[in-house]
Amino acid sequence: MKRIKVLGSGCRNCEITAKVIQQAAQEAGVEIELEKVTDIAQIMGYGVMSTPGVVVDGVVVHSGGVPGPDQARAWVTAGTESADA
């Protein structure tokens, strides 16, 4: 299961980012654990200065702006292709 964190203050763009990721995971049939991180100290601990930020399995993969559906799909499916083989 992928662990994904959306970093941000809880603003509209952060909420949209979380929804885009949830929808991508659902469409791909991939189970994820999605956490919203709003604590500024935690966000800065990832080195993210522009939100929303996205962390997948401990690695920052995006910051600043809402990611597109294709980006989110790539994050949730990365490394899962051979899991069912």
- The answer to whether the CB of 58 falls within 8 A of the CB of 46 is no
- Tokens for 46, please give them: 């990832």
Annotated active-site positions, please? 11, 14
- Tokens for 28, please give them: 């791909």
